Every structure is written in structure tokens, then in C-alpha cells.
Structure 1
Amino acid sequence: MQPVVLITGALGGIGQAMCERFDAGGWTVFGTDLDAAALCAQQAAGKLAGAHAADIRRPGACREVVAALLAVSGRLDALVNCAGVWREGPVESFSEEDFDLVLDVNLKATFFMCSASIPALRESRGAIVNISSDAGRQGNRNAAAYCASKGAVTLMTRALALDLAPAGVRCNSLSPGDVETPMLRFQAERYGNGDPAAYYQALLAKYPQGEAARFIQPGEVADLAFFLCQSGARSITGADLAIDCGVSAGN
């Protein structure tokens, strides 16, 4: 029987790469995101075995997603939490609306998707991979809310790993640097003061590769997540793995 993975944020840059990687690895892939029509199109194109549109900022919606998956597959072997948003700005002018969005999507949704999935993962002795960020390891200028959300995801993952270890469920986080995705383009266009290229260059300037610096590719993140869900990684739990070209190595 094929193992089953649930991927949140399945329509995003990292989420789509996850779906492709797990599908290529022989897994049954179930995705969730906000856009029902786009999810149906992905399923019709054979990129998803199953899909359920939901606003996973609501705990009840998280339970609905898992119930829909189990009604079709009868099992769940891995959860990969990819859903995330970016907002930036100085704390003194940061809006409550943006703060709530960042914390609700990045942290609350991740927490309650784990909560909803744990009973099924106990049955399969499965795995959880939460996508955190280099901003969960170190402070990033002008991004206090995002750093707060991702730092919480990283530490929550470690706590879950301790809680779930007796049941044989592993829980790890991945902390990418800047990944070449639509979210990164959104950042540059919204916060680049009309010059996205300069915004990109400012991001790349922090990488130790100098002129050879590049953004991380979504497939690189997906490859590492896929590995963490395999039996060969059965000794890895409670880890936060950086995939950031070394940007956090000195911090």
C-alpha cells in the first residue's frame, strides 16, 4: 500500500514542489489550500490524488481536511506543513491585521494541522515536517512578526517531537533561507520601494557565497522533507535543519 502524505499550502511554490516530490517517490499525495478551483485543476492534471480546500487558520477546518483525507485513503503517513505568508515592516507601525495574519497562517494553522493529524499518525507511526525559516533561527530586520511566528514553529516542533516520540511519530522542521517562489516575488514587489531587483540584491548580500549567491530552489526543500519522511531517517526527530546556503551558520 502506498504511503499517504498531506501537504498544506499545496498551491504555493514550496507546496507544489512537495507534491511533485512525494508523487515521484511513489506516495499518495493529498493537498489543501484556499483555492478550490485551483486544487481541482491540480487533481484533474494528476498532480494530486486528493484535495480539500480549507482555511486552516480555523481548527475545525483542519479537522475537516484530515477527515476528508481519511475518508478516501484510510491512513495518513506524513504531514508536511508548507502554508505560510510574509508581511514586513517596523513594529511601531505594524498593523494588528497583518500581525494576526502572519501568526494565524504560519503558527496557528501549523499547530492545529498537527493536532488534527496526530491520531492518524500515531496509527501509522508517521512523520511531521514543519516548514520554518532561517528567520526562526535568527532575527531578520523589519520582520519581527514573521520571526516570532517561525521561531515559535521551530520550538513547537521540538516540543512535539518529545511528546510524540513514545508513539513512534517523528517531528522535524526545515528552516530555508530565501526560496525562489511566488512569495519571494510578492515580497520584492510589495516591499521593494518600486525596485524589486534591489530588494533581491539586498537579500543575496547576506549570503556567504558573495557574487555566487543564489536563492534556494523549492525542489531542494522538497527533497529534504521527503528524506525526513523515509524510514532511513527514523533516528531524526526534534531536529531543525537549515537549508539556507550557510546564511545562519555564523549566528
Structure 2
Amino acid sequence: MAGRTVLIAGGAGGMGLATGLRLAADDERIVLADLPGAKLDEAVSKIAATGANAIGLRLDVRSVAACRGVVDQAREWGGGLDILVNAAGVWLEGAASEVREEQWDLVLDVNLKGAFFLISAAIPHLSAAQGVIINIASDAGIVGNSGAAVYCASKGGLVLLTKALALELAPHGIRVNAVCPGDTATPMIEYQARTYGGDDPDGYKRRLLGHYPQGERARFIGVEEIASFIHYLCQPGAAPITGAALSIDFGISAGY
């Protein structure tokens, strides 16, 4: 088990970094790929502080060439590629009648296009390793969210991409699964609250939690909980699980 090479796109974000830290505890070699800057440097430092081998690579997932390049760099650094986690994501909400073309392009490029071309580039290496692909989708990839049509389109596409690739890649020994979290305590939630919450960002977050069946007990999911779920899916004991869209959302996608 020890010593696998893990590439995490969006690795400086909340779920990406938490996943890196969880897998680093198993002595895996961790490649965090994200936009360059202090955030990426700090994320790599946190993983390196655990004693794990870690490296940060610059990546703009909107670029096909950059996706292909970062897969090659990760493979060269790690001596192979065993696990790919697609954790990059952006949020957009608002009336569909007001969506601009550049907003559509940004959300689809980051949430769907980038994941596809990272997977495409990684297939030969993951085949050699009998590897694992984890796509972080969303409850919004399973059920519709009013006022978030573009985001739903991107994450719904990612869920069906996962299922199609699981079938295509099963003969190569590659497992592909989508993890579909509900609202999670990440910087993205804080961005949503600041951007769309007007003068009451805390009220925005309370309204999100108001949709959950737990009522007053509702809370945001912890990134460590997501990371533990992903960690399990990367283990040999999860071998039968492929092509699944796995909810971790306190039941919000179960129905009303």
C-alpha cells in the first residue's frame, strides 16, 4: 500500500488538501496541483510537515495542455501514477436568464473539462498501476438546485462522466467513482456566503442548513469526513466499488 503516487487537482483547496493529508498518513507520495501562489505553497508545506513526500505543481485546469503537462510531471516525480483526485471546483448561482457566456465557460471548464482531460492524460499510467480515479462532484450533480443551473450542469456532467469512464476503464483495472458531498465547511462556502449572502452572510449559511432533514441538528460536513471517505475508496477493500456516485450529504439528496 505504501508509496503510491497521488495527484490531486485543486489540491490547495479545502477538500483537496484534506485528502492529501489523509493519504499522506499512509506514506503515499502527494502531488498537489493548483493555481500558483502562497495558498499552494502553504498546502504543500502542511503535507511535508507530516513527513510525507509532497510536491506542488502549477495547474490551471482550464488548459488542456496544462492538464497533460501536470500528469507527466507527477508521473516523472513519483515514478508512476496510482491515484487521481479531481477536486478543483468553482461555484456559481443566480438566475439562468442572467448567466453570461464567460461564467458558463469558467464553471464548465473548471468543474468538468479539466477533470476529463486530466483523466484522459492519466489513463495509460493508471492502467499500469491498476489505479483509482476519484471525481469530487456534489449533491447538485444528483438533484437539481434552484438558482444553480450552471453548477448543476457541470457536476451532473461529472457524475455521468464518472459512470461512462468506469465502464470504459474497468478492463484496464481502473476504478472510477464520484464522491457527491453536500454543503461542506470549506473556503467555497465562505465565498458563497460573502458573494451571494448580501449583507447577511451568516443568514445565507443558515438558509443552506435549513434544507437538511436534521433540522436544528444540521451542520456543514467537515473536510476530514470527505477525505476519510475518499481514503476508503482508494483502498483494496473498495475493489467492487466503481461507477458509483456516492452521496455524503446528510441525506439532502434522498428526497423531500
TM normalised by structure 2 equals 0.95
Question: Residue 53 of structure 1 corresponds to which residue in structure 2?
Answer: 58
Deviates more, 1:63-72 or 1:122-131: 63-72
Backbone CA RMSD of aligned residues? 1.3
Question: Residue 200 of structure 1 corresponds to which residue in structure 2?
Answer: 205
- Mapped contact 2:17–2:43 kept (Cα < 8 A): no
How far apart, CA to CA, are the structure 2 residues paired with 1:70 and 1:109? 18
The letter of the residue matching 1:106 is N
- 1:70-219 correspondence to structure 2 within 5 Å: 70-219=75-224
The letter of the residue matching 1:199 is Y
Deviates more, 1:81-90 or 1:1-10: 1-10
How far apart, CA to CA, are the structure 2 residues paired with 1:41 and 1:243? 27
How far apart, CA to CA, are the structure 1 residues paired with 2:195 and 2:126? 39
Q: 1:67 to 1:166 in 2, by over 3 A?
A: same
**Structure 1, residues 5-61: CA drift from partner, whole Å, max 9, x if none?**
100111111111011101012211111000244433443451561221111211110
The letter of the residue matching 1:140 is N
How far apart, CA to CA, are the structure 1 residues paired with 2:134 and 2:152? 19
How far apart, CA to CA, are the structure 1 residues paired with 2:42 and 2:201? 31
Identity level (%): 49
How far apart, CA to CA, are the structure 2 residues paired with 1:67 and 1:177? 32
How far apart, CA to CA, are the structure 2 residues paired with 1:87 and 1:190? 10
**Structure 1, residues 134-189: CA drift from partner, whole Å, max 9, x if none?**
00001101100000000000000000000000011000000000001000000011
Question: Residue 7 of structure 2 corresponds to which residue in structure 1?
Answer: 6
The letter of the residue matching 1:3 is R
SS in structure 2 of the partner of residue 52 of structure 1: strand
1:20 aligns with 2:21: yes
Q: After TM superposition, where is structure 1 displaced by more than 6 Å over at least 4 residues in a row?
A: none
SS in structure 1 of the partner of residue 228 of structure 2: helix
Runs of at least 5 residues in structure 2 that lack an aligned partner in the other structure? none
Question: Residue 29 of structure 1 corresponds to which residue in structure 2?
Answer: 30
Runs of at least 5 residues in structure 1 that lack an aligned partner in the other structure? none
**Structure 1, residues 87-122: CA drift from partner, whole Å, max 9, x if none?**
111010111111111100000011111111111000
Deviates more, 1:47-56 or 1:238-247: 47-56
Q: 1:37 to 1:201 in 2, by over 3 A?
A: closer
**Equivalent residue pairs, number:** 251
Q: 1:210 to 1:42 in 2, by over 3 A?
A: closer
Deviates more, 1:34-43 or 1:131-140: 34-43
TM normalised by structure 1 equals 0.97
SS in structure 1 of the partner of residue 134 of structure 2: strand
Q: 1:21 to 1:198 in 2, by over 3 A?
A: same
1:233 aligns with 2:238: yes
Question: Residue 229 of structure 2 corresponds to which residue in structure 1?
Answer: 224
- Mapped contact 2:179–2:248 kept (Cα < 8 A): yes
Q: 1:236 to 1:37 in 2, by over 3 A?
A: same
SS in structure 2 of the partner of residue 202 of structure 1: helix
- Mapped contact 2:32–2:44 kept (Cα < 8 A): no
Tell me the CA shift for residue 69 of structure 1: 1.1
The letter of the residue matching 1:132 is A
SS in structure 1 of the partner of residue 255 of structure 2: coil
